[in-house]
A = this chain, B = another copy of it.
């Protein structure tokens, strides 16, 4: 094994661990911020998709559509969506035209939560103490890596 390969291997390990532990650190920050909205980070992501796609009565989202956006499947989403439903933020109902699908809609309460949630990104950006350029570069590299990994 030459030096270049050796360096690569060690480095790779460090990158994986850096990804793992930075993600945990980020989750910790968001947990604190999202506490006052009574949301977990994955629940917040689902709500972001709902808000972004305007999932009202006229344009409900299926479970798999949400899963496409977040790279998650029904085994993860079904229980999470049930929790959001019992919190009164969304409504779940089998589609009339295809009863295999479950349509997910925002409730009035779910739509209303958006305003309070708009304070979150600013607080998170503040916690990161990073310049926009740095965040942009990091995002680009992460997206590239994710794409290559899958």
Contact = CB atoms under 8 A, between A and B. Distances in A.
B141 A137 contact: yes
The count of identical subunits is 2
Interface residues of A, number: 55
B121 A13 contact: yes
Chain A's interface: helix, strand, loop or mixed, by majority? Answer: helix
A125 B124 CA distance: 31
A145 B128 CA distance: 7
Given A19-B23, A139-B18, A141-B138, A13 B48 contact: yes
Interface in A22-65: 22-30, 41, 45, 48
Given A12-B124, A16-B26, A129-B148, 4 more contacts: A16-B30, A18-B138, A22-B146, A128-B148
